[in-house]
Structure 1
Amino acid sequence: MAKLDSLENKVVWITGASSGLGKALAQECALQGAQVVLTARRIDELEKVRVGLLNPDLHLSICADITNEAQVLHAYEQVLAAKGRIDWLINNAGLSQRALITETTMQTERTIMEVDYFSQVFLTKTVLPTLLKQKSGRVVFVSSIAGLLGTQYRASYSAAKAAIHMWANSLRAEVAEDGVDVSVVFPGFVKTNVSINALNGVGQAQGFDNEATANGLEADEFAQYTVKSLMQGDEYIVIGGRKEKLGVLVSRLSPSALYRMIRKAKVK
């Protein structure tokens, strides 16, 4: 568990960096002195983020769809050509869901798993040889408290976020002796467009926010806490309000009590 006093000149590659948690993480890493590589599908949005960062000329925008393996490989080559190393890979890009299981098509199930699980596995497997060669680095996965609890209207999302958590656990064990660290972040409700962009049962963006997200933690607060925890070498990082943290605690102490709580919960 490598601890860092500073991110000065560390290369931090963040996916889903054009908005929301990714943008906030990029801003915080730049404040801590990192050279940030921003990746998302929209180059114009990435550039807006990059020029707003501290010391914008130190940072790099690389456009890629993380579900397109050829684009991911090309992005990886660009990062190494420009920066020569990767210190942190933050797998942040993700896609949520707001639909009952009975209303969710198999195509939507697969789309969410592709974004939230398979694409992150592929990018990590792509970057891993560099980290192993360096004998240093940290792979970070932004999972979700939904991946620890599983709630109504989020079955596919919860499953994908749980899957990447378990994959990360295995990765951590396999590279423990090679100088590579693995962290998983479990956000609760944070004020972003995650609910607006969440897929409904037929795979279309929901298009509106929900109360819990609208009243959630500010994205910059999330980013400050996350980056501080990562610099401390934390591997299991739960960030949320009182209810979310209580749910995580109950899930460990009494799964059956958690299931009763979730059945009664008014979530959407």
Structure 2
Amino acid sequence: MNLQNKTIWLTGASSGIGEALAKQLSTLGVNLILSSRRKEELERVKSTCQHQERIAILPLDLMKSDEFDAKVKLALEAFGQVDILINNGGRSQRSLVKDTKLQVDRDLMEVNYFGSVGLTKAILPHMLSRGSGHFVVVTSLTGIFGTPYRSGYAASKHALHGFFDSLRAELEDSGIKVTIAAPGFVKTNVSVNAFTGDGSSLGSMDDAQAHGLTPEACAKVIISAMSKEKREVYIGRESYGAYVKRFLPGLFAKMIKKAKVR
């Protein structure tokens, strides 16, 4: 796919992988719609991008699905159409199952799963009417295999894989593509903002995250996969875990319980 002159709607655009995606995409001759909860941070990201006249700011809270239809209308008004929706927004977790309140699991599903699914469903009629479109969903390698301290997060990411695999099977022949991008550790503030067992934020970057892939390197792989219309891509040195789990599940079980995921 040639991305030039495409209109791309990007959630979770105010930091981390989303910010890196925004900066790199802005160099490719596209129209960008940047969304996250924090308008001031979106404005900051926009100020660091190229071709700012082709960038629209659209604040969006993924936990407020009742606002999605109105947000889609505003997105379509910005540039007349949306060719690609990148579902990148979400939140992580750092807590053991035994210490995690059920409400934390619900909140993780609400923002990570229902947020992306709800926005996808809201924009889908527009893409169907045009006979083309592309959904890109940034999940995680924990959407392939669960790890300690990520039970609710892994569940939400597994759910995304199930939903978007089904969506692809239903719509691929109609001209609508789906790309699932599953990164491992990326050096962002995702662990700083992660839910702990009582719902508060962790407030610090864990060692695994601190030694992860740069957001810029991750964004480059995602854009490449999107351009090539790949169905799924694993990102980072931890990707080998997906293959070990598939072909050597007993070995994987021994490995993952000792994995340094914090």
* TM norm. shorter chain > 0.5: yes
User: Is 2:215 the partner of 1:245?
Assistant: no
Task: For residues 118-159 of structure 1, give each alpha carbon's deviation from its aligned partner in whole angstroms, at most 9, with x where no partner exists.
Answer: 111110000111111111111011110011110000000001
Determine which of 177, 180, 196 is the counterpart of 2:192.
Answer: 196
User: Is 2:31 the partner of 1:32?
Assistant: no
Contact 2:208 2:260 in 1 (8 A): no
1:51 offset after TM fit, Å? 2.1
Alignment partners' CA distance in 2, 1:151 and 1:107: 20
User: Is 2:252 the partner of 1:258?
Assistant: yes
User: Is 2:123 the partner of 1:127?
Assistant: yes
- Aligned pairs (5 A) from 1:104-183: 104-183=100-179
**RMSD between aligned alpha carbons?**
1.0
Contact 2:179 2:225 in 1 (8 A): no
Name the aligned partner's letter for residue 49 of structure 1.
V
Range with bigger deviation, 257-266 or 97-106 = 257-266
Q: TM-score, normalised by structure 1?
A: 0.95
- Aligned pairs (5 A) from 1:64-103: 64-103=60-99
Alignment partners' CA distance in 2, 1:191 and 1:7: 27
Name the aligned partner's letter for residue 258 of structure 1.
F
**What does residue 47 of structure 1 align with?**
43
Name the aligned partner's letter for residue 128 of structure 1.
L
How many residue pairs match? The answer is 262
Secondary structure, counterpart of 1:175 in structure 2: helix
Q: TM-score, normalised by structure 2?
A: 0.98
Name the aligned partner's letter for residue 75 of structure 1.
K
Alignment partners' CA distance in 2, 1:71 and 1:127: 12
Contact 2:94 2:196 in 1 (8 A): yes
Name the aligned partner's letter for residue 24 of structure 2.
E
1:27 offset after TM fit, Å? 1.2
Alignment partners' CA distance in 2, 1:200 and 1:120: 22
1:246 offset after TM fit, Å? 1.7
User: Is 2:2 the partner of 1:10?
Assistant: no
Q: Which aligned segments of 4 or more residues in structure 1 are displaced greater than 6 angstroms? A: none
Alignment partners' CA distance in 2, 1:107 and 1:261: 30
1:255 offset after TM fit, Å? 2.0
Question: Which consecutive unaligned segments of at least 5 residues does structure 2 have?
Answer: none
1:235 offset after TM fit, Å? 1.0
Secondary structure, counterpart of 1:185 in structure 2: strand
Alignment partners' CA distance in 2, 1:202 and 1:251: 31
Alignment partners' CA distance in 1, 2:251 and 2:116: 32
